[in-house]
Every structure is written in C-alpha cells, then in structure tokens.
Amino acid sequence: MNTSLLLVAHGSRREASNDEVRALTTRLRTAADDRFHQVDCAFLELASPLIPGGLVRLIQGGAERIIVLPYFLAAGRHVTEDIPAEIAEVRADHPEVDIVLNPYLGTADSLPELLLSLIAY
Amino acid sequence: MNTSLLLVAHGSRREASNDEVRALTTRLRTAADDRFHQVDCAFLELASPLIPGGLVRLIQGGAERIIVLPYFLAAGRHVTEDIPAEIAEVRADHPEVDIVLNPYLGTADSLPELLLSLIAY
C-alpha cells in the first residue's frame, strides 16, 4: 500500500505565511526522499488548497493511505476538532483510502533541541 | 556576560495550550544544560507572564543579555512588529541589558527532519 503525506497548516490572510508553508513542503518532500508516494500541503482556512481539496488531490494522484500531519504547536480546537471533522468528510466519500491523523508538531520530542539549534548568539 | 533565554509564545484562552508552552520550557531548560543563566517563557497576549513581565523577571534574576526566541511558525505581524515593540519598551527602561531577538521557530533548517521524525506510521 503506498502512503502519501499531507502537511496541514492553519492558513493566513498574509500570503507570504502560506508561501512559507509551501516552501517547507518542498523541503519536506526532498527530505522524505522515497518514503512517501506524494508529499503536499493543505490549509484549515484562508488559503488554498483547503484540507478536503488537498486530500482529494492526493487521492486522485493514486494515494492508498494518507498521513495528515498538523503543522500546529498546541492541541487547540483546530487540532482536536476542526481537522478531524474535515478528514471525516473525505473519509466518508472515499472509504477505500486509509486517512490517518498524525500527532501535531508541538508533540515532537526533539523540539527543545531544534529550538536550541536556532540560537546563533 | 551571562545570557538568559526567553521563549515567547502567542498565548491562548485555552490554559492547556499555555501549559504546553510551560512544559516545553522546562524541557528546554534541561536540554540547554549550562548554556544559559536562566531559561523561561512569556506570552504575547492572553497568558502570564506577558513579554515585559517575563523580561523584567529575568533582569531581576541578574540577566545581562537575554535572547528572545519566538515560538511562532510564520513571520506574521506578531513576529515582525508586536514582539519587537514589546522588547523595545523594556530596552528603553533597561539600557544596561542586551536584549536580542532571535529568528523564530519556523526558520529552523531542520524542521523537515523534525516533522518526519514525528510520523509513527
């Protein structure tokens, strides 16, 4: 079974912020090498594609399993309710595709080391 | 000159999200070992301490230099305007302390690897 990855960000009225997510997705695709069939991003609101559109695009690209990775720092309502609700709608339309919600960025064990690596002073 | 670290998050009405930041700060303090004189966190809004209060607490603790590390994913108005404005006020009151604004979390080179490390499936 092939697996695709969808990075899901909040989305911003400021298009440069959305472009930061798109650029990160390009770096993520490179870093993932052959681990995933497809790597793409989607947004909860305010930017394109929205989550359903992003999932459907991966399904049209042949995805059999999709891992949704929330690019969020805290387990607020967006992570615990809104993203699962968006996923549930697409699941209902595409029961043949296994859509898995991954833990969000803020749960990463190595966040402290990443933050320390950022400090140049 | 001793250096202290202040992790600055947005702050949330949901106290559990603020507690996630406080718990991360504890892990950051441990990971930093002896690299910093003090490690603490503050919030732009909605949670305590706010940025001025967090900076003053470090100064009262003897900080000679403070690195402010924005726990933000994108360079929105909060990162480019609001946090610098809060810092500027404390700088004016405490010119003897060197307060440095560090690049924000979203600029970390190794974010793709961190995201990939999160995927358990």
Q: How far is CA B90 from the centre of its chain?
A: 15
Could you tell me the residue ranges of all domains in chain B? 3-117
- Residue A76 contacts by C-beta under 8 Å, 6 or more apart in sequence? B12, B14, B17
Q: Which residues of B touch A1 (CB under 8 A)?
A: none
- Residue A77 contacts by C-beta under 8 Å, 6 or more apart in sequence? B14
Q: Which of A71, A114, A117 to mutate to test the interface with B (most CBs of B within 10 A)?
A: A114
ipTM given for this complex: 0.95
Q: Which residues of B touch A75 (CB under 8 A)?
A: 16-17, 20
- Residue A53 contacts by C-beta under 8 Å, 6 or more apart in sequence? A42
Cβ-Cβ pairs closer than 8 A, A with B, add up to 126
Active site residue B37: no
Residue B8 distance to chain A (closest CA, Å): 12
**Cβ-defined contact of A74 to B24 (cutoff 8 Å):** no
CATH code that applies to domain A3-117: 3.40.50.1400
Q: Residue A96 carries which side chain, given as an amino acid letter?
A: E
**Tens of pLDDT along chain B (121 residues)?**
999 999 999 999 999 999 999 999 999 999 999 999 999 999 999 999 999 999 999 999 999 999 999 999 998 899 999 999 999 999 999 999 999 999 999 999 999 999 999 997 6
